[in-house]
Amino acid sequence: MCTLAHVFEAAGLATVTISAIRQVAERMRPPRVLHGEFPLGRPLGKPNDPEFQHDVLRRALSLLECDSGPVLEDYPVEVVGEEEPLGCTVPPRFDPELAPAVDEARGLRKAYDRAVARRGISDVGKAIDADGVPAALDVLQNIVNGTPWKEAGIPGGHTTALANDIRAYYEEAALELAGAPNAGGRQAEAWFFERTEAGKLILDVRKALASQGAPQPVWFYMAPMHRN
Amino acid sequence: MAEQELGDAVIRRQIGGMPVPEFSETAWTAPPPLSEARVAVVTSAALHPRDGEGFTVNDASYRALDHDQRQLVLGHWSPNFDRSAFGIDYNVVYPLARLDELVEQGVIGSVASKHYSFAGNQPDDVATIRHDSAPACAAELKADGVDVVFLTPV
């Protein structure tokens, strides 16, 4: 973001940048910055709160009245992310022949489909589509059970993309089930990694990949860096 | 990591300590009065239409997004931020409805016909963006008559 601001400004465009990580903005010194101490991924602070979003915009655009810069101001209200798991049940065990995560993913399909129907779009699709989620979880379970990762047939061939798709499938279903228009910053993430079989499996796969000697980029980005 | 430390705090501390590109000086462009300014949004959320070209890992290119296109995929590759909020309300990342309201209120002059998305996950030196794709994007913004760019990070 800060690099874009420097380049755009030099090209003759006036820029206002919302900053998410203050230390980065302090060191990169783009022309006009409003730092928002908001949950990461929410640069306007709060979803479904037009009044709050308008206030962030108003304060950011007011920096255009400054005569010189760089200028870095802080938005006066901090929004602390709620990071306890979303209050969403997981499907009961249905088919004991299946791996728990596979069974669970199948059980979430109707909720996922309702979410897509309501929103009209889904973030699932980097490596697999929704139909591919159960089979992908089966492959990850095989890696945890000892199948060498290069022989496991990782769908799409990219672990980060695959983890991204599985998590999006689950989070979109969970928000639909929980009916949570104001879910906190990491509540969906916490639900996925702490409450679901799929989330726990992804954390186990990271460990299995590392212990099998897979390069760090293969496993590291499958989950947020604070979830070891 | 401390037991009680929030995920956002851990990630802010770790990313905040990483190397950043250095700029020896800060350029400065004086905008026209806000009530006359044409405003565009540029985000690093890697937004793209479902049927459009997605972003690859370390993709330094950008996508132009029509102002009326609101069904967009959050294509960013990083697992480190909240991805749910954009699905709840796109304005929390990409505030086009808010900008439209500011036009109606006469606060800003107009909203651009196109907005742009880059991918926030980039190689540390961001050389391609700095020397190639960002200047190309700036030229497109200027061709649309944009005066002010509002940048939102993800």
ipTM for this model: 0.95
Q: Is residue A89 part of a domain?
A: no
A35 contacts A25 by C-beta, under 8 angstroms: yes
Q: Inter-chain contact A1–B74, Cβ cutoff 8 Å?
A: no
Write out the DSSP string of A167-210: HHHHHHHHHHHHT-TT--TTHHHHHHHHH-HHHHHHHHHHHHHH
For the segment A166-185, the average pLDDT, to the nearest whole number, is 91
Q: How far is CA B20 from its chain centroid?
A: 18
Question: In B, which residues are within 8 Å of A46 by CB distance?
Answer: 92
Q: Is residue A84 part of a domain?
A: no
Q: Which of A74, A109, A132 is the C-terminal boundary of a domain?
A: A74
Q: Which of A31, A58, A74 is the C-terminal boundary of a domain?
A: A74
Range of the domain at B45: 33-152
B116 contacts B140 by C-beta, under 8 angstroms: yes
Strands B148-152 and A14-19: parallel
A88 contacts A178 by C-beta, under 8 angstroms: yes
pTM of the model: 0.95
Question: In B, which residues are within 8 Å of A3 by CB distance?
Answer: 21, 126, 129-130, 134
Q: Is residue A81 part of a domain?
A: no
Helix axes A159-178, A100-107, angle to 10 degrees: 50
Q: What pLDDT is recorded for position A181?
A: 74
Report the alpha-carbon distance of residue A117 to residue A163 in Å, rounded. Answer: 23
Q: Is residue B127 part of a domain?
A: yes
Q: What pLDDT is recorded for position B121?
A: 82
pLDDT in tens, A184-228: 889 999 999 999 999 999 999 999 999 999 999 999 999 999 997
Q: Are A105 and A147 within one domain?
A: yes
pLDDT in tens, B2-30: 456 789 999 999 989 888 888 999 999 99
What does DSSP assign to residue B109?
Answer: S
For the segment A22-31, the average pLDDT, to the nearest whole number, is 95
Place of tokens 């101001």: A73
Q: What pLDDT is recorded for position B3?
A: 52
- Which of B92, B110, B141 is the best residue to mutate to test the A interface, defined by the most A CB atoms within 10 Å of its own CB? B92
* Cα of A99 to nearest chain B Cα, Å: 25
Report the alpha-carbon distance of residue A224 to residue B78 in Å, rounded. Answer: 8
* Cα of A97 to nearest chain B Cα, Å: 31
Which residues is B116 bridged to in the sheet?
A: B42, B64
Q: What pLDDT is recorded for position B2?
A: 41
Q: A57 in contact with B at a CB cutoff of 8 Å?
A: yes
Q: Is residue B71 part of a domain?
A: yes
Count of the separate structural domains present in chain A: 2
Q: Inter-chain contact B72–A121, Cβ cutoff 8 Å?
A: yes
Q: Are A160 and A68 within one domain?
A: no
**Sorting pLDDT into bands at 50, 70 and 90, what band is A164?**
very high
Lowest mean pLDDT among A39-43, A169-173, B3-7: B3-7
Report the alpha-carbon distance of residue A88 to residue A160 in Å, rounded. Answer: 25
Q: Is residue B16 part of a domain?
A: no
Q: Is the peptide bond before A70 cis (omega within 30 degrees of 0)?
A: yes
Q: What pLDDT is recorded for position B1?
A: 41
Range of the domain at A65: 2-74
pLDDT in tens, A95-132: 999 999 999 999 999 999 999 999 999 999 999 999 99
Q: Is residue B17 part of a domain?
A: no
Report the alpha-carbon distance of residue A27 to residue A4 in Å, rounded. Answer: 15
Pick from A8, A20, A188: CB nearest B149 = A8
Q: Is residue A28 part of a domain?
A: yes
Q: Is residue B27 part of a domain?
A: no
Q: What's the Cα-to-Cα distance from A82 to each of A21, A164, B103, rounded to whole Å?
A: 18, 21, 33
Q: What pLDDT is recorded for position B52?
A: 80
pLDDT in tens, chain B (154 residues): 445 678 999 999 998 988 888 899 999 999 999 999 999 999 999 999 988 889 988 899 999 999 999 999 999 999 999 989 999 999 999 999 999 999 999 999 999 999 999 998 887 778 889 999 999 999 999 999 999 999 999 9
3-state secondary structure of B58: coil
Q: Is residue A176 part of a domain?
A: yes
Q: Are A123 and A171 within one domain?
A: yes
Q: Is residue B19 part of a domain?
A: no
Q: Are A134 and A184 within one domain?
A: yes
* Cα of B41 to nearest chain A Cα, Å: 10
Report the alpha-carbon distance of residue A189 to residue A167 in Å, rounded. Answer: 8
Count of the separate structural domains present in chain B: 1
Q: What pLDDT is recorded for position B4?
A: 63
B119 contacts B128 by C-beta, under 8 angstroms: no
Strand residues in chain A grouped as ranges (E): 14-19, 32-35, 71-74
Report the alpha-carbon distance of residue B51 to residue B63 in Å, rounded. Answer: 12
Q: Are A117 and A211 within one domain?
A: yes
For the segment A27-43, the average pLDDT, to the nearest whole number, is 96
Q: Is residue B145 part of a domain?
A: yes
Q: Inter-chain contact A22–B16, Cβ cutoff 8 Å?
A: yes
